[in-house]
Amino acid sequence: MIFKEFVTRFARYIKPYWWQSSIVFAFMVLAIASSLAFPYILMILIDEALPDEDYYLLGILLATLVGMMVLNIISAFVANYLYHWVGNRVVFEMRSELFSHLLRLPLSFFKRNKTGDIAHRLNNDVQIVQKTLTSGVLKLVNSVLTLVSLGAVLIWLDAPLFLGLLLLVPCFILNLKYFQPKIGKVAEATQHKTSDILGFFIERFDNIKLVQSYNTYRHESDKLGRRQGELFDLEMHSTALNLSAGSIASFIMSFAPVVILGWGGHQVMQGALGLGALIAFFQYFMRIFGPLENLNQLYLDCVRASVSLRRIVEFMDVPAEIESEQAEPFSFKKKIAFKDVEFAYNGHPVLSHFDLEIEKGKTYALVGASGCGKSTVVDLLCRFYQPQKGEIAIDDAPCRAFGLGKYRDRIGLVSQEAQLFRDSVLENIRYGRLESSKEEIERAAEELETEEPEDALATVCDSKANLSGGQKQRIALARAVLKNPEIIVLDEATSALDSESEEKLLRRLKSHADDKTLIIVSHRLSAVREVDEIVCMDEGKIVEKGTHAELMQKKGHYWELFKTQLANN
């Protein structure tokens, strides 16, 4: 069942390399055939060359032996090299496909799964499958071919003796069947615990300021120690099971030499079997131990690899966000309308009967206390999530009708985190439109005053760059400007700037976006005074709408927020 699972899942990856696999098989047969020559040559030497003192035959046998050894070394090298080349190509493609698939999964998937677990499956689990594919399958084919060849030779030498030894095989199989479920269960627990530790590392380093500011080094080390202790126990349990399975298999096979020497020795003394034939039979049968041990270990490896395979397949089988072939071309000429939209996270209501119209070319601001649903409106607009009730329409057409890729091409989202890759400032801005020229990138950076020193665009965005939060947000804004979308969404995208810089930057942004729709999400109310319409939210609903002057005159919810913010400043 385990091998069938591997074959059915990955046959399509191996299929393009069928001719390299054929060469591997051919050289593997040559390597096995040449390795089987030595006992046969030894038999002829003992039974014919030495008793007859035939120096000519002795020379031929020795020359043949050297030739077979050279052929074996060359054939084994070519077979192993080519197979590892094929195996690595297959796994590289599998990892690339898994990575591409993960990138297309909905945002809810990444909310449900820890980053550490995703990284572990993408790297460690794929490596475990890679090991099984690159070395395991080669061992399987090589071991099976060797066993078949040895069986044929042993039957030719002494069929009754060989058939008597086959009585040990059922014991060998029962040993594997007993240990397989136990090893699989421990392997699965080990993989989960390893993923948990990787996630622990990522979470702590992402929050290193928190750890250092609260001086919790000992606490975090103790937590890691407990996790490592659990992993250590699982690893040792796995080791004990593997050693037990291997030791029992060796004990079963240890009866074989006793049977061969006892039964075979009796036949030699009776004159029914030559001494050279007995020695050849013994040597051939002792060669069975290697392939059998390989098959035993391979079976146990496949039990563990099947756990990794299931974990990979679990992610591969999650439906991705795909383009519909019937998708309409994106068109935004008049307005975006949220119509009686409702949305909840894990059963907790966030938006309730939410209605909003956003006209093309105007500037809007979503304001309100934390948790009122502002960012959820942005997530729904960008189609990271779908409304659980109601719909979002663009010019009266449901936004689901538009192709997802083309739809998102028309939206430029800049969030508070100012997500940057560890690359140059230039490449981070270029991410907005990959085909952009350097001149276009420089123009976008200049518009938002991103480029200060002459070599600023060459600066690598990492911990050594000492970029401030404001600089990072300017880079993210320049990336959105370069994208040149119809709708620009700023979700707390200027929070790291001071009020004066924020107002200046937003005015520049609006002056270059006359025909674009700008949506600003902000806690800082001073930043939204000049927008066309302020949408004030509370507990997932719109409580007020209007300009800054209109809402201040009403002295309602917005006025209270503004007054409270002024008092706190």
Q: Are 426 and 441 in contact (CB under 8 A)?
A: yes
Are 349 and 300 part of one and the same domain? no
Q: H or E stretch including 517?
A: strand 517-521
Predicted confidence at residue 453, as pLDDT, reads: 47
Residue 326 belongs to a domain: no
Range of the domain at 344: 335-568
238/355 same-domain check: no
Of 265, 287, 316, the one marking the end of a domain is 316
Q: Considering the domain boundaries, does residue 553 fall inside one?
A: yes
Asked whether residue 321 is domain-assigned, the answer is no
Q: Tens of pLDDT along 413-436?
A: 888 777 888 788 888 888 888 888
- 432 residue type, one letter: G
At which of 287, 316, 345 does a domain end? Answer: 316
Q: Whose CA is closest to 460, among 425, 413, 434?
A: 425
Whether residue 341 is found in the same domain as residue 297: no
The identity of residue 253, as a single letter, is M
Residues in the chain: 569
Residue 324 domain-assigned (yes or no):
no
Say yes or no: 194 and 342 in one domain: no
Query: Are residues 446 and 522 both part of a single domain?
Result: yes
pLDDT digits (tens, 9 = 90+) for 72-109: 888 888 887 887 787 777 777 878 888 888 888 888 88
Please tell me whether residues 107 and 48 are part of one structural domain: yes
**How many Cβ atoms sit within 10 Å of the Cβ of residue 19?**
8
pLDDT in tens, 286-334: 777 677 777 767 776 777 777 777 788 888 888 877 665 556 777 788 8
**244 in a structural domain:** yes
CATH code, domain carrying 493: 3.40.50.300
For residues 312 and 340, state if they share a domain.
no
pLDDT in tens, 321-378: 766 555 677 778 888 999 999 999 877 888 988 999 999 888 898 988 888 888 899 9
**Are 127 and 265 in the same domain?**
yes
Looking from the CA of 277 toward its CB, the CA atoms found within 13 Å total 17
* Contact in structure between 146 and 79 (CB atoms under 8 Å): no
In a shared domain, residues 477 and 380: yes
- 307 and 345 together in one domain: no
* Highest mean pLDDT (candidates 32-36, 110-114, 408-412, 442-446): 408-412
Tell me the pTM.
Answer: 0.70
Instruction: Say yes or no: 213 and 361 in one domain.
Output: no
* 546, 531 contact by CB (below 8 A): no
Q: Does residue 400 form part of some domain? A: yes
Distance separating alpha carbons of residues 37 and 287, to the nearest angstrom:
12
Residues 379 and 312 in one domain: no
Task: Give the separation between CA 199 and CA 117, rounded to whole angstroms.
Answer: 6
Domain count, the chain: 2
